[in-house]
Amino acid sequence: MKFRHISNTLKAAAAVWALCATTALADTTIEFIQWWEPEMPAGALRGIMDDFEAKNPGIKVTLVSGPYATTRDQIVVGAASGTLSDVVGLDGAWVNGLSKQGAIASMDEMMTKANYDKSQIADIVKVDGKSVMFPLASFVYPVFVNMDIAKASGVDKMPTNRSEFEAAAKKMTDASKNQYGWVLPLSLQSPSGIQNDVMSWVWASGASMMKDGKPDLENPAVIGTLEYIEKLNKDGVISPGIFAKKEQDKVEEFVNGRVGMMVDTLAHVNLIRERNPKLNFGISALPAADGYTGKRGMPYASWGIGISEGSAHKDEAWKLVEYLMSPEVNGKLVSIANAFPGNVHAKPDFVASDPIFAEAFKIYQSGYPANEFVGLPVAEELMRNMNVEVQKMFDGGQSAKDAAAATQKAWMSKF
C-alpha cells in the first residue's frame, strides 16, 4: 500500500512537471517593436502574428506599436538600457549607429544555421560586413495633393517642376483660413524631415549630396535646393510651426485639410483614408529642378527588420523574421501595406486594384530608388546637423550657401 501511494505520488508529480514544461514552452513570448501597426488597417499586423503563432506553437508575439517618432525614441532608449525588444522594426538611417552600439545582431550566423537562401532578399543592409537589416517593405515618397483644395485654388494639374510647385503652393495658400500650400516638418527631436522633405528634392533632380563616399554639400544642386525651400518659406506658403513639427504632425495637417501638398510615404495612404474617408487626394512624382529631363531619384524609406543583440530568444526571433520575409507572407503584408516587397519572389496585388498605387507604381518604374542616408554613420545625427543649419537659414541668420558650408564641416567630422 505504501509503495502504491509513493508510485501514485510520483506519477502525479510527473504529470504536473510535464504540464509545467508544456506551459513554459507555450509561454515563450517575443516582443516586436515597430511603427507599422498604426499605418496598416486595424488588426492586419496582429492577424499576421496570429498566423505565425498558429504555425509556430510555443511562440507568442507581443506587438509594441506607436507612431514613427515615438517608436524611434523607444528604440534609442531600449538600445541604451539593454531592454530592446527581440525583433526590431528599423529605419535604414538608424542601423549604423545601432550596430556600432552593439544593439542589433548580425543575422549571418542565423541564416547559415537555417540554410537560408539569401538570394531571395531584394536587399540586405550591412554594417562592417554584418547583415543587420532586411528591408521588409519599401515605400516611395511622392507628393500628396488635396485635389479639392487644388481645384478650388485654380490648380488644374499636378506640378512637375519646382516653378509649377511654387505657383501651386501660392495659389493654395490662404492664411486667413489657416490653409497653406505645403508642410515641412523640421523638428530637431525627429530630424527625418531633412531626409524626406528636403534632400529628396536633390535626389528628384538626379543629383547627390555625396561624392566618392564623402559628404559633398556645397555643390550647386544642394545649395540650389536650400535656396528653393528658403524662398517657399519667405513666400509664406509653408504652414507655421516648422521647427516643432514631426512627421505625424505633417500627416495630421494634410488629413484635416489644412495643407494642399505634402511629401510623404505611401505607407500613410491607409492611415489617411482611415482618418478622413472623404478626403479627395492624389499623388505625383516629386518635382524636379526646372529644365531637368533625366531620370528622377525616387525618395524611399523601408520598413526594415532586425534582431536585438540582447534578445534571450534569438532563435524564436529569427523564426519570425524568416516568416515575414517568406514569399507568401511578404506578398500578403506588402499588399495590405501597399508597399514594394522585400522578397524578390513576393507578388503584391495592390497595383491592379487601387488607382493611387497604380500611379505610385508608374512613379516607381520611371525613376530610381534614392536615399543616401541609408547606412551612413550616425545618419540621424547628420540629419540633425543639417536641420540646425536650415533652421538658422529660415530665421535669417545665414544664407543657403553658408548653411551648406556649415553642414559640410559638421558632417566631415563624422567621416
Between residues 298 and 166, which one has the greater pLDDT?
Answer: 166
pLDDT of residue 215: 97
Q: Which of 343, 328, 334 is nearest to 52 (CA)?
A: 328
- In three-state secondary structure terms, 335 is helix
Going by pLDDT thresholds of 50, 70 and 90, the confidence category of residue 365 is confident
Right CATH for 143-284+377-412 from 3.40.50.2300, 3.30.70.3400, 3.40.630.30, 3.40.190.10? 3.40.190.10
Q: List, in sequence order, every residue forming a beta bridge with 182; answer none if it has no partner.
A: 238, 261
**pLDDT tens profile 3-38:** 445 455 555 545 555 555 444 445 899 999 999 999
Q: What is the DSSP letter of 198?
A: I
Quote the cell numbers at residue 100. 556600432
Look up the CATH number of domain 2-138+301-355. Answer: 3.40.190.10
CA distances 231 to 238, 377, 393, 394, 397, Å, are 10, 31, 11, 9, 15
Share of the chain above pLDDT 70, in %: 93
pLDDT, average across residues 292-308: 93
**pLDDT tens profile 104-156:** 999 999 999 999 999 999 889 999 999 999 999 988 899 999 999 999 999 99
pLDDT of residue 15: 52
Is 238's pLDDT higher than 80? yes
Beta-carbon neighbour count of residue 6 at 10 Å?
A: 10
pLDDT of residue 254: 98
Between residues 12 and 76, which one has the greater pLDDT?
Answer: 76
pLDDT, average across residues 326-343: 91
Range in 15-29, 121-135, 235-249, 399-413 with the lowest mean pLDDT: 15-29
Quote the cell numbers at residue 7. 508510485
pLDDT of residue 90: 97
Domain range summary for the chain, segments of one domain joined by +: 2-138+301-355, 143-284+377-412
Task: Kindly report the pTM of this predicted structure.
Answer: 0.78
pLDDT, average across residues 281-302: 93
pLDDT, average across residues 58-64: 97
Is 65's pLDDT higher than 70? yes
pLDDT, average across residues 265-286: 94
Write down the H helix ranges in 277-375.
314-325, 327-337, 350-353, 355-366
Going by pLDDT thresholds of 50, 70 and 90, the confidence category of residue 367 is confident
pLDDT of residue 110: 97
Is 378's pLDDT higher than 90? no
Q: Which of 265, 321, 263, 258 is nearest to 124 (CA)?
A: 321
Range in 238-252, 332-346, 352-366 with the lowest mean pLDDT: 352-366
pLDDT of residue 8: 53
195, 252 Cβ separation under 8 angstroms: no
Distance CA 178, CA 173 (A): 8
Domains 2-138+301-355 and 143-284+377-412 fall in the same CATH topology: yes
The amino acid occupying position 170 is K
Contacts of 164 by beta carbon, 8 Å cutoff, 6+ apart: 157, 287
Q: Which of 341, 347, 263 is nearest to 303 (CA)?
A: 341
Quote the cell numbers at residue 202. 536633390
Beta-sheet pairing, 281-284 with 210-211: unpaired
Between residues 11 and 286, which one has the greater pLDDT?
Answer: 286
Give me the half-sphere count of Cα atoms (radius 13 Å) on the Cβ side of residue 287: 23
Mean pLDDT (the chain, rounded) = 92
pLDDT of residue 19: 52
Phi-psi region of 264 (alpha: psi -120 to 50; beta: other; left: phi over 0): beta
Contacts of 354 by beta carbon, 8 Å cutoff, 6+ apart: 338
